[in-house]
Structure 1
Amino acid sequence: MRTGSEPITARSPLRLRFWLSVWGLIWAAAGTAAFALAARPGWAAVCGALLLIVTVDLAMVLHHIHQGPHYQPGRDIPPYEPDHGGTGRGQ
């Protein structure tokens, strides 16, 4: 719910999440390769699953970054009334 007190300079943490995903992608790939070479298939599978999760997260973050900014109401728009689950008709 919009309260009207949001900071004007609020930023999305998508860029931080992008770089953390890249860091996780590097470590998960290195772990998968290292455990595969060390003949530890269980740990290689765990790192491979983590690599898949990090890759999906990175794809989602990139998708949201490429969407660009979305409309946000300005300071001249009053706060919204909360929706109490009704249809808004005849209440």
Structure 2
Amino acid sequence: MRTGSEPATARSALRMRFWLSLWGVLWAAFGATVFSLVERPGWAAACAVLFVVAAVDLVVVTRHLRQGPHWQPGRDIPPYEPDHGGRGRRPGTGPGPRP
């Protein structure tokens, strides 16, 4: 919901999240490989699970980056009225003719 208090130059953290998940994929793959070679199956399995989680995150972030920027209302669009707890306006309180 747009409140009107968003910064005009807000930026997404997707690129940072991309690099962090790539870093996680690389280290988890390295850890799973090393722990498999030194016959530590528990640690190898933990690194393999971490690898899968980081790889899924990497795919999601890449998909979001490829979608490109989404439309955001400009400065000429006034902010939306805040949500009043899911209840609609009371009759006679909004703009327009009164009964």
TM-score w.r.t. structure 2 length?
0.83
Q: Unpaired segments of 5 or more residues in structure 2? A: 92-99
Kindly indicate whether residue 5 of structure 2 is the aligned counterpart of residue 5 of structure 1.
Answer: yes
* Root-mean-square deviation over aligned CA pairs: 1.6
- Aligned letter for 1:85? G
Q: Unpaired segments of 5 or more residues in structure 1? A: none
More relative contact order, 1 or 2 (CA 8 Å, 6+ apart): 1
Structure 1 segments, 4+ long, off by >6 Å, are: none
Percent of pairs with identical residues: 64
Distance change (3 Å), C-alpha of 1:62 and 1:38 = same
Higher helix residue share: 1
Q: What is aligned with 2:97?
A: none
The alpha-carbon deviation at position 8 of structure 1 amounts to 1.6
Count of aligned pairs = 90
In the TM superposition, what are the counterparts of 1:1-91 in structure 2 within 5 Å?
Answer: 1-83=1-83, 84-86=85-87
Query: Structure 1, residues 49-90: CA drift from partner, whole Å, max 9, x if none?
Result: 00000000000000000110001000111111133324x598
CA distance in 1, matches of 2:89, 2:9: 37
